[in-house]
Amino acid sequence: MSFASFGSAKPIKNQKPLARRSQSKIKNVLVFLLLLIPAFIQAQTTRSLNKVKIKVESAGIARQNTIVSFDISSYTAVPAGSQIVVKTAEGQICHSQTERCAETKKATLHWRIDGQMSENESRIFVIEIVAASETLPVMTVEKDRFGNLVLKKNNTNVLQYNTMSPRLPGGIDPAYRRNGYIHPAWSPAGNVLTNINPIDHWHHYGIWNPWTMIEYDGQIYDLWNIGDKKGTVRFDSLYRSTDGNIFSNILVRHRHVIFEPQPEQVTNHVWGIMRFTPKTEKIIMDELQNLRVWNGEEGTFLWDLNFTLYPSTDLPVILKEYRYAGLGWRATPDWTKENCEMITSEGKSRQEIDGTNARWVYVTGMSPNGKSGILFMASPKNHNFPEPLRIWDETQNGGRGDAFINFAPTKNEDWILEPGKSYDFRYRLFVFDGDITPAKAESIWMDYANPVKVLVHR
């Protein structure tokens, strides 16, 4: 039998040639392996947190009672009935709290390093999974009888976020009413450090963040001077509220609203002709406001104000250059030129500050329970950083010298907010009794602006 006789045989009907069958098998194996890769990667990345060691480096900055944040999104979820604890290398349990964001699926573990860290120090921490225990949170959010939200530390009032508009005295235009502001803000000793609706400026609301000159669709609107009835800012909804041992937190939505004038209307009445110009409302920006109070240094309060703006139509919003706009603070009426001092990161005092730029500014004054103050800090990621400041000098209000402080990123330039984009600006406040020094203020800002370095320790 010759090889030719085998070679001349016809293939079975519908059977693929040998080479093609081999290629098909290889292809199937490759597809199978490709399907296994995501599962393999997940198995490698979603490991257990239990016994993971973390190295925290001060990264060249001296720190005190600093907060550490570590992304744990890639680790397996903690089993039901268990909780995460963080321990020092010596076995001491740290104040800690896990934060999970439903929108981004990100999970972050926060804890506090008690005491001081030198400039070039590093520390080792161990994460453990233990049986859950019932403990009352140190940092809480409570509603008052009107529905306003009070953030507390160890059951002591820190700040109140107002979902409700205040009552105004008779004869005052109700256009001056608004909500979505902070008042009171307290010092640890209980001094109230904010003021709302002072008779010299009815539109001032404690700590609040409207914009003064806005260009939209070729027209100019004012959401700061609300008595002019060109626009306002409103609290819309509470997205979430969080209690814990490291922080309490609220996330709210604001609506920035303009009042668009319509054609003049004329009506005839028996007493004569009445002319009026109706207005329609339009939401031009949505804002997410994240207020967080940290469990920081004892005898002080530490809180973050984080805002994100979203143009809500298909037109840009132009925040026009103006001498005041953005985050403002009208301080307690107890503070006047007789007892109030201001210092900035650039070493400027009260009479020199207005129109200068700064990373931080602190203000102190005398109140019924003694001297208190707030250190206002701007994030280096903010627009137009270091930010221009608008403050009142000692001649304001007929020479009373009341205190008003404003980080005003549009004080010297326009800022165009484009549709489909978001715009963040972030601030931290350190609230204290007594006094601090410029060196202390700089140290606190450095810790805020330059977080510790966090590494998984092998």
240-287 pLDDT per residue, tens:
999 999 999 999 999 999 999 877 777 777 777 777 666 899 999 999
Statement: residue 39 has pLDDT above 70? no
Taking domain 139-450, whether its CATH number is 2.60.40 is answered by: no
Place of tokens 């005295």: 169
Q: Round to whole Å and give the CA distance between 89 and 92.
A: 8
The model's pLDDT over 12-35, given as tens digits with 9 standing for 90+, comes to 344 445 455 556 666 665 655 565
Domain 52-131: assigned CATH number = 2.60.40.1180
pLDDT band for 103, please (50, 70, 90 cuts). confident
Rounded to whole angstroms, how far apart are CA atoms 168 and 175?
A: 10
* Lowest model confidence (mean pLDDT) among 19-23, 172-176, 212-216, 234-238: 19-23
Mean pLDDT, the chain, whole residue set: 91
Candidates 411, 444, 409; CA nearest to 430 is 444
Average pLDDT over residues 350-363: 97
As a whole number of angstroms, the distance between CA 213 and CA 233 comes to 13
Distances (CA, A) of 266 to 48, 260, 263, 272: 73, 18, 10, 11
**What pLDDT does residue 120 have?**
94
Mean per-residue pLDDT, 72-77: 92
- pTM for this prediction: 0.87
266 or 67: which leads in pLDDT: 67
Strand 181-185 and strand 63-64: pairing?
Answer: unpaired
Is residue 42's pLDDT more than 70?
no
Distance CA 102, CA 79 (A): 18
* pLDDT surpassing 60 at residue 9: no
Higher pLDDT, 273 or 232: 232
pLDDT at residue number 135: 87
Domain with CATH 2.70.98 in the chain: 139-450
Q: Strand pairing partners for 285?
A: 256, 311
Q: Where in the chain is the domain with CATH 2.60.40.1180?
A: 52-131
- Token match 């409570």: residue? 142
